[in-house]
C-alpha cells in the first residue's frame, strides 16, 4: 500500500503541467544530468570531451548524485508535508547549476577544442565552484546538517579532487598541443597560432624564455576583425570582434600605447579566475591600442534594470538565494584579486559583467558574474601610496569614507584619511562590495534619491548608509554592516566574507518552514518520537546515514527501498 501511494503521488507530480515548481525544475535538471552523462560516454552519436575529460566526468557524476538525492528529498517531503512549494528557489538554483555543468561539458566536446581550451584556462576553478555548490545541495537534499565546519571540510575535499583531475587534464592538453604543433599537417594558420599561444601560457618555462610576462599575449592588430560596436566611453570603444576563430570583446583606446596601458596589461595577464573577466590578448598600433577580453552578455547594473523593468511590482531583481549566490561570486573574484595583491578601486554593479546560462527553453536560469574594469586598479607594493591618486567621481556612491575627497579650501581637495587608506589599502574594496550587495538586494544604486555627489559624500563621511530591505537575513545584514563600517580596520577580509556568504546560503536552504502531513503517517515504515537530548538520538544518527539534525525533525529515505523512515526530534 505504501509503495502504491508513494509511486502514484510522485508520478502525478512529475507529469502535471506545473510552471516553476520544484518538481518541474527537478525534471529539467534530471534531463541535464542525462545529457551530461551521454556527453561523457563515447558513442556513434556523440564524441566525449576533447579537453578537460577528467574534470567533465567529475562534474557529470556530481550532478547525477545530486539529482538522485533531490528525487528522494521531494518524495519524502510530499509524503510527509503534502507539498513542496517552499523549495522553488533551491531547485531553481539547482537547475541553473545543472545548465552550467552541461554548458562546460558541451564546450569541452566541441570540434574546435583548441578554441575551447584557450577560453577555459581557468576551468578548474570554475568547476570547483560548481561542484562545491552541487555537493552543498546534495548534503541539503540528504538531510545532513551543514555547519560552518562541515562546509569548510566539503570545500577542502572538493579542492583536492578537482586539483588532482585538473593536473591530469593539463598534462594531456600539453601533450596534445605539442603533437599538433609538431605535426603541422592539416592545421590552419589560425589554429596553429592559437595552439602556440595556449602552449606558451600553459608552460611557464616557455613564458620565461620570452622575457616578458605579457609577451605571450601580444598579437597583431590585423588578426582582429571588428563585427559590431557594443559600447562607447570617453576613452575607449568596445566592439564585438572575431579573433583566430573566437568571438571576443575588443576594447579599443584611441591613443598610442602608454605606461598606464602597459601596466594594465601586465596586471591582467597574471589573472585567471572564473569570477574575473578573462584577458585574452592585446595589440598595439601607431594611433591606437586595444585589449581583447572574453565576450560577456551584460553588465550587472543593466541586467538588473532590465529585470525590474519587466515587472513594475518587483521590489528586488533577484530572490534572496539568487542574490546571495551573486554576492558570493563577486566576493570570490575580489578575494582572488586581493590574493594577487591587487586593489580594484572601482567596484560597482556597472563594473561587474554577467553571462546568462540558459536552458533548452531559451530562458536564463543562472547568472555567472565576473568582475571587470580594472582601469583604476593598483598593484599593492610597498612603495604604493594613495595621497595623490585621481578618484573618479562616478564611483562616489560606492566609495569608502577614507577614500573620499573633501573640500579643504576653495579649489583644494585631498583624500579624507590618507593614513588609513595606506594602512588598509584593501578596505576600500570591502566597503564598495557592501554597496554592491545593496544594489543586488534592491536593484537601486546607493543613495539613489540624492542627485549631488557632494551630498552623498557628506552623508557617507557622517556615517550614513543606505537602508537594507526588511527581508534581508539577519546574518547577511550583519555582514554588510561590517563591510561598510566607518572604521576600515573593523571590516572583514574577503576570505572571511566568502565563508560567511556560504553560511548564509546554507541558512537560506535550511530555513523553510514546514508542517507535517499527519495523514500520511500510516504509510511510513518507522516513526520514533525522541525527547530533546535523548541518549538514543546519537544511536539513530549513527544508524541512519542521512539524518538531519535540525531543531525539530530528522528524515531518512533510501531510494532503493519503497519505505520511508522518519525520526521525530521533539523540542
Residues facing residue 407 across a β-bridge: 413
The pLDDT assigned to 479 comes to: 98
Residue 545 has pLDDT above 50, yes or no: no
The pLDDT assigned to 562 comes to: 38
- Same-domain check for residues 194 and 226: no
Residue 392 has pLDDT above 90, yes or no: no
How many independent structural domains does the chain possess?
A: 3
- Comparing CA positions, the residue from 439, 342, 299, 453 lying closest to residue 391 is 453
Q: Is residue 301 part of a domain?
A: no
The pLDDT assigned to 208 comes to: 43
To which H or E segment does residue 502 belong?
A: helix 494-510
* Strand ranges, E, within 418-515: none
Residue 176 has pLDDT above 80, yes or no: yes
Task: Pick 262 or 12 by higher pLDDT.
Answer: 262
The pLDDT assigned to 197 comes to: 84
Residue 27 has pLDDT above 90, yes or no: yes
Whole-angstrom distance, CA of residue 453 vs CA of residue 447: 10
Q: Is residue 229 part of a domain?
A: yes
Task: Pick 392 or 112 by higher pLDDT.
Answer: 112
Q: Is residue 550 part of a domain?
A: no
Q: Which of 202, 232, 257 is the last residue of a domain?
A: 202
Report helix, strand or coil for 507. helix
- Same-domain check for residues 276 and 353: no
The pLDDT assigned to 406 comes to: 46
Which residues are known binding-site members?
A: 251
Q: Is residue 519 part of a domain?
A: no
pLDDT tens figures, 293-347: 999 999 999 999 999 999 888 889 999 999 999 999 999 999 999 999 999 988 9
Residue 8, burial from CB neighbour count under 10 angstroms (0-12, 13-18, 19+) = exposed
Residue 6 has pLDDT above 50, yes or no: no
Residue 485 CA neighbour count, 13 Å, CB half: 13
Whole-angstrom distance, CA of residue 297 vs CA of residue 72: 36
Question: If you average pLDDT over residues 216-235, what whole number do you get?
Answer: 85
- Same-domain check for residues 165 and 286: no
Residue 185 has pLDDT above 80, yes or no: no
The pLDDT assigned to 363 comes to: 80
The pLDDT assigned to 484 comes to: 96
Report helix, strand or coil for 136. helix
Contact 88/22 with Cβ under 8 angstroms? Answer: yes
Residue 444 has pLDDT above 50, yes or no: yes
pLDDT tens figures, 408-423: 344 444 445 555 555 6
Burial 273-292 (b: 16+ CB within 10 A, else e): bbbbbbbbbbbbeeebbbbb
- Comparing CA positions, the residue from 66, 72, 69, 76 lying closest to residue 32 is 66
Q: Which of 202, 231, 253 is the last residue of a domain?
A: 202
What residues make up the domain containing 467?
317-377+395-403+419-511
- Same-domain check for residues 24 and 153: yes
Residue 376, burial from CB neighbour count under 10 angstroms (0-12, 13-18, 19+) = middle
- Same-domain check for residues 139 and 266: no
CATH, residue 279: 3.30.200.20
Q: Is residue 138 part of a domain?
A: yes
- Same-domain check for residues 255 and 181: no
Q: How many CB atoms lie within 10 A of CB 164?
A: 12
> Which cell is 267 given?
596586471
Residue 447 has pLDDT above 50, yes or no: yes
- Same-domain check for residues 126 and 263: no
To which H or E segment does residue 354 belong?
A: strand 352-358
- Please report which confidence band the pLDDT of residue 183 belongs to, taking 50, 70 and 90 as the band edges: confident
**Which of 6-10, 36-40, 86-90, 562-566 is most confident?**
36-40
DSSP per residue, 248-291? EEEEEESS---HHHHHHHHHHTT---TTBPPEEEEEE-SS-EEE
- Comparing CA positions, the residue from 525, 529, 567 lying closest to residue 546 is 567
Q: Which of 170, 202, 234 is the last residue of a domain?
A: 202
The pLDDT assigned to 421 comes to: 57
Q: Is residue 563 part of a domain?
A: no
The pLDDT assigned to 195 comes to: 87
Residue 362 has pLDDT above 80, yes or no: no
Whole-angstrom distance, CA of residue 134 vs CA of residue 162: 13
- Same-domain check for residues 112 and 189: yes
The pLDDT assigned to 524 comes to: 46
**Which of 250-259, 404-413, 462-471 is most confident?**
462-471
The pLDDT assigned to 146 comes to: 64
Which residues are known binding-site members for ATP?
A: 251
Residue 538, burial from CB neighbour count under 10 angstroms (0-12, 13-18, 19+) = exposed
Report helix, strand or coil for 467. coil
Q: List, in order, residues 6 or more apart from 211 with CB less than 8 Å away.
A: none
Q: Is residue 150 part of a domain?
A: yes
Q: Is residue 538 part of a domain?
A: no
- Same-domain check for residues 116 and 90: yes
- Same-domain check for residues 220 and 110: no
Chain centroid offset of residue 426 CA: 21
- Same-domain check for residues 189 and 280: no
- Same-domain check for residues 26 and 110: yes
Amino acid at each position: 500500500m505504501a509503495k502504491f501511494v508513494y509511486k502514484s503521488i510522485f508520478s502525478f507530480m512529475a507529469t502535471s503541467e506545473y510552471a516553476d515548481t520544484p518538481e518541474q525544475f527537478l525534471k529539467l535538471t534530471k534531463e541535464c544530468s542525462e545529457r551530461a552523462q551521454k556527453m561523457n560516454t563515447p558513442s556513434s552519436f556523440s564524441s566525449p570531451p576533447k579537453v578537460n575529460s577528467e574534470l567533465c566526468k567529475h562534474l557529470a557524476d556530481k550532478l547525477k548524485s545530486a539529482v538522485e538525492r533531490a528525487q528522494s528529498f521531494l518524495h519524502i517531503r510530499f509524503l510527509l508535508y503534502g507539498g513542496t512549494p517552499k523549495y522553488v528557489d533551491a531547485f531553481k538554483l539547482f537547475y541553473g547549476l545543472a545548465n552550467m555543468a552541461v554548458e562546460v561539458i558541451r564546450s569541452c566536446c566541441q570540434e574546435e577544442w583548441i578554441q575551447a581550451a584557450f577560453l577555459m584556462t581557468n576551468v578548474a576553478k570554475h568547476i570547483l565552484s560548481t561542484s562545491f555548490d552541487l555537493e552543498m545541495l546534495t548534503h541539503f537534499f540528504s538531510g545532513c546538517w551543514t555547519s560552518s565546519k562541515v562546509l569548510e571540510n566539503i570545500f577542502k575535499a572538493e579542492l583536492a579532487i578537482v586539483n588532482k583531475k585538473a593536473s591530469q587534464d593539463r598534462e594531456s592538453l600539453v601533450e596534445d598541443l605539442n603533437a599538433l604543433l609538431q605535426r603541422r599537417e592539416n592545421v590552419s594558420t589560425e589554429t596553429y597560432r592559437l595552439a602556440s599561444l595556449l602552449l606558451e601560457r600553459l608552460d611557464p618555462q616557455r613564458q620565461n624564455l620570452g622575457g616578458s610576462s605579457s609577451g605571450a599575449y601580444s598579437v597583431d592588430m590585423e588578426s582582429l576583425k571588428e563585427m559590431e560596436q557594443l559600447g562607447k566611453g570617453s576613452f575607449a570603444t568596445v566592439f564585438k570582434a572575431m579573433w583566430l576563430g573566437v568571438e571576443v570583446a575588443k576594447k579599443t583606446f584611441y591613443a598610442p600605447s602608454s605606461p598606464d596601458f602597459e601596466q594594465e596589461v601586465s596586471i591582467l595577464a597574471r589573472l585567471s579566475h572564473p569570477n574575473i573577466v578573462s584577458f585574452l590578448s592585446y595589440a598595439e598600433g601607431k594611433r591606437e591600442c586595444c585589449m581583447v577580453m572574453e565576450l560577456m552578455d551584460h553588465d550587472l547594473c543593466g541586467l538588473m534594470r532590465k529585470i525590474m523593468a519587466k515587472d513594475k511590482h518587483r521590489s528586488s531583481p533577484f530572490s534572496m538565494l539568487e542574490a546571495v549566490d551573486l554576492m558570493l561570486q563577486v566576493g570570490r573574484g575580489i578575494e582572488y584579486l586581493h590574493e594577487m595583491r591587487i586593489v580594484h578601486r572601482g567596484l560597482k554593479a556597472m563594473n561587474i559583467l554577467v553571462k546568462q546560462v540558459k536552458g533548452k527553453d531559451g530562458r536564463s536560469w543562472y547568472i555567472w558574474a565576473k568582475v571587470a574594469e580594472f582601469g583604476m586598479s593598483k598593484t599593492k607594493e610597498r612603495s604604493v601610496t594613495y595621497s595623490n591618486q585621481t578618484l573618479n567621481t562616478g564611483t562616489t556612491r560606492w566609495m569608502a569614507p577614507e577614500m573620499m575627497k573633501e573640500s579643504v579650501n576653495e579649489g583644494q581637495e585631498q583624500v579624507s584619511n590618507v593614513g588609513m587608506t595606506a594602512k588598509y589599502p584593501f578596505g576600500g574594496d570591502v566597503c564598495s562590495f557592501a554597496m554592491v550587495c545593496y544594489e543586488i538586494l534592491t536593484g537601486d544604486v546607493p543613495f539613489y534619491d540624492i542627485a549631488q555627489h557632494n551630498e552623498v559624500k557628506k552623508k557617507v563621511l557622517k556615517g550614513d548608509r543606505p537602508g537594507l530591505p526588511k527581508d534581508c537575513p539577519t546574518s547577511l545584514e550583519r555582514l554588510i554592516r561590517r563591510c561598510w563600517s566607518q572604521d576600515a580596520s573593523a571590516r572583514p577580509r574577503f576570505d572571511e566574507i566568502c565563508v560567511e556568504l556560504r553560511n548564509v546560503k546554507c541558512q537560506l536552504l535550511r530555513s523553510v518552514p514546514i508542517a507535517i502531513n499527519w495523514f500520511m503517517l500510516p504509510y511510513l515504515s518507522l516513526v520514533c518520537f525522541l525527547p530533546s537530548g535523548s541518549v538514543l538520538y546519537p544511536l539513530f544518527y549513527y544508524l541512519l546515514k542521512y539524518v538531519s539534525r535540525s531543531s525539530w525533525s530528522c528524515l531518512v529515505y533510501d531510494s532503493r527501498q519503497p519505505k520511508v523512515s522518519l525520526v521525530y526530534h521533539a523540542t
